[in-house]
């Protein structure tokens, strides 16, 4: 079976931290490939702060272009919105029966996952690779039936930090993969104008 790590998110915008985590999971946690599952509408995010799903998908595709084992997936684009992880996993299992899926999750989401739609099923039936996030601990790890804590480096970059900094007029080129900064600037994203 193909071991596939799934990194879910809004990727608003995708940044070098996302790429670094994906790279770590591929190289140090023995994943064959990493799929970035772009959520058109996350039920926990304010839709007013999101650039269009198509723009976020385009940025993700640009970011993973030079990594043959990374894929930016639009699977949730043809599903009901908001997107629920459990529904996406069921669809993935149906469409890709030869893949062994592992959900990549930060410790900042560990405590809340039981409250997600289908949370009990996620916790009991699915495999997780959990990575440390700054300011969080490992509380709640015992609720997972199939989880491994990856000793990935702490990455303190977040999409919200990048958006906030752009609104303040900062040049964030060094925090996003090649080509993304030009795309953001060309489209006037995150400026608040």
Residue showing tokens 């999971």? 25
What's the whole-number mean pLDDT along residues 15-40? 97
Give residue-wise pLDDT tens across range 100-118.
999 999 999 998 998 899 9
What pLDDT, on the 0 to 100 scale, is given for residue 135? 82
Tokens of 39: 């959520």
The 3-state DSSP composition of the chain as helix, strand, coil percent (nearest 5) reads 40, 20, 40
Residues 167, 169: Cα–Cα separation, whole Å: 5
pLDDT in the model for residue 67: 97
**Coil/strand/helix, residue 6:** strand
Rg (CA), the chain: 16
Token pair listed for 94: 């149906």
As given in the structure block, the two tokens for residue 167 are 């609104």
- pLDDT at site 45: 63
- The pLDDT-based confidence of 134 (bands split at 50, 70, 90) is confident
If DSSP codes are grouped into helix, strand and coil, which group holds residue 154? coil
| Sign of the alpha-carbon torsion through 47, 49, 52, 56 | negative
| d(C-alpha 122, C-alpha 48), whole Å | 28
Closest CA to 131 of 115, 153, 163: 153
**Fold of domain 2-154:** Rossmann fold (3.40.50)
Q: What distances in angstroms separate CA 118 from CA 85, 110, 134, 185, one per listed residue?
A: 8, 14, 27, 39
The per-residue pLDDT for 41 is: 81
Q: Given a cut of 90, is residue 136 above it in pLDDT?
A: no
The pTM assigned to this predicted structure is 0.94
Going from the C-alpha of 108 to that of each of 18, 27, 82, 137, the distances in angstroms are: 15, 23, 21, 8
- Domain ranges (residues) in the chain: 2-154
pLDDT at 193 over 80: no
């Amino acid at each position: 079976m193909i071991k596939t790590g799934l990194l879910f998110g809004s990727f608003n915008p995708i940044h070098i931290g996302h790429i670094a985590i994906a790279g770590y999971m591929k190289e140090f946690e023995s994943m064959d490939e990493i799929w970035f599952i772009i959520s058109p509408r996350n039920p926990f995010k304010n839709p007013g702060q999101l650039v269009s799903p198509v723009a976020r998908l385009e940025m993700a595709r640009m970011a993973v272009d030079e990594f043959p084992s990374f894929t930016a997936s639009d699977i949730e684009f043809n599903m009901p919105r908001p997107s629920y992880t459990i529904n996406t996993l069921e669809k993935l299992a149906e469409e890709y029966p030869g893949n062994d899926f592992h959900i990549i999750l930060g410790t900042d989401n560990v405590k809340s996952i039981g409250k997600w739609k289908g949370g009990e099923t996620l916790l009991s039936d699915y495999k997780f690779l959990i990575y440390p996030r700054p300011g969080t601990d490992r509380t709640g790890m015992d609720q997972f039936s199939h989880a491994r804590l990856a000793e990935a480096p702490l990455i303190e970059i977040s999409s919200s930090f990048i958006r906030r900094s752009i609104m303040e007029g900062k040049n964030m080129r060094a925090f996003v993969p090649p080509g993304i900064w030009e795309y953001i600037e060309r489209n006037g994203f995150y400026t608040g104008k």
